[in-house]
């Protein structure tokens, strides 16, 4: 009896041990699986964060030698050439692009630029010095409240077309260094000196003047 009892007890203990071992193995496998899933999720999350980050240099102001590329339309991303610009306007919108890294400096809206081609004979000396073949570049951000300058229309105070911000009707004359001719804007648009390289427009220097709207306070 005692032997039988012993054998029965021993068999029960062995079964319990095996059951505990199986449970432990199962828990270990589940833990490993959960750990692997968590690691994969973290890696995916990290990849998404990195993918959403702006490229180094994309928020820097235009640099000398940068190409100018279309910021919108069917030609978005392509270099702006002299042939793309109609004499007398309208202007096109562009971003500066680092020719060495191919990084488009579009991470800051303050980098968007208006490019327009006018009759060189209409430009004052200050403006002509920053132009190339009558082609001019200005900041596309109004100096009043920082709205985009989007219109090329006849001035409210003259018979010539001007660059106009439709938010508060500020108008700028691109022939005279984008000085304010109408509206509440406190100062002219910042100008960007230009050059030509193999027919494409490039940046010849830093912005002349402050970019962006007036700061509150």
DSSP codes of every residue in 65-112:
T-EEEE-SSTTTTSBPBGGGS-BT---EEEEEE-TTT--B--SSGGG-
**Spatial CA neighbour of 170 closest among 178, 180, 160:** 180
- Digit-coded pLDDT (tens) for 12-30: 444 444 444 454 445 555 5
Residue with tokens 């000085």: 179
**Tokens describing residue 10:** 């021993």
Burial 19-31 (b: 16+ CB within 10 A, else e): eeeeeeeeeeeee
Q: Which residues contact 96 (CB under 8 A, 6 or more apart)?
A: 62, 63, 66, 67, 68, 69, 104, 105, 111, 113, 203
Which tokens in the block code for residue 30? Answer: 């589940």
144 in helix, strand or coil?
coil
Q: Distance between CA atoms of 143 and 209, rounded to whole angstroms?
A: 10
| Series of mean pLDDT values for 10-residue runs along the chain (217 residues) | 37 46 50 47 40 82 97 96 96 97 97 97 96 97 97 94 97 98 97 95 96 72
Q: What is the pLDDT of residues 49-58, one digit of tens each?
A: 344 578 999 9
pLDDT at residue 26 in the model: 52
Query: Tell me, what's the pLDDT at 214?
Result: 73
Cα 190 to Cα 140: distance, rounded to the nearest angstrom: 9
Residue pair 181/165 in contact by the 8 Å Cβ criterion: no
- The pLDDT value recorded for residue 10 is 40
Q: Of 150, 148, 159, whose CA–CA distance to 181 is shortest?
A: 159
**191 vs 208: CA distance, rounded Å:** 5
């Amino acid at each position: 009896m005692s032997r039988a009892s012993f054998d029965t007890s021993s068999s029960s203990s062995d079964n319990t041990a095996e059951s505990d071992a199986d449970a432990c193995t199962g828990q270990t496998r589940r833990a490993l699986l959960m750990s692997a899933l968590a690691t994969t999720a973290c890696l995916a999350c990290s990849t998404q964060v990195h993918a959403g980050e702006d490229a180094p240099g994309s928020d820097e102001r235009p640099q000398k030698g940068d190409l100018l590329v279309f910021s919108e339309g069917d030609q978005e991303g392509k270099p702006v050439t002299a042939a793309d610009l109609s004499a007398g306007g309208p202007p096109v919108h562009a971003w500066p692009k680092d020719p060495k890294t191919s990084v488009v400096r579009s991470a800051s809206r303050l980098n968007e630029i208006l490019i327009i081609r006018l009759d060189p004979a209409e430009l004052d000396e200050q403006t002509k010095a920053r132009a190339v073949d009558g082609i001019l570049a200005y900041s596309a951000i109004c100096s009043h409240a920082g709205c985009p300058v989007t219109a090329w229309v006849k001035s409210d105070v003259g018979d010539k077309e001007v660059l106009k911000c439709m938010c508060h009707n500020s108008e700028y004359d691109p022939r005279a260094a984008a000085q304010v001719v109408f509206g509440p804007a406190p100062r002219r648009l910042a100008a960007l000196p230009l050059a030509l390289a193999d027919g494409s427009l490039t940046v010849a220097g830093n912005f002349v003047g402050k970019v962006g709207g007036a700061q509150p306070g």
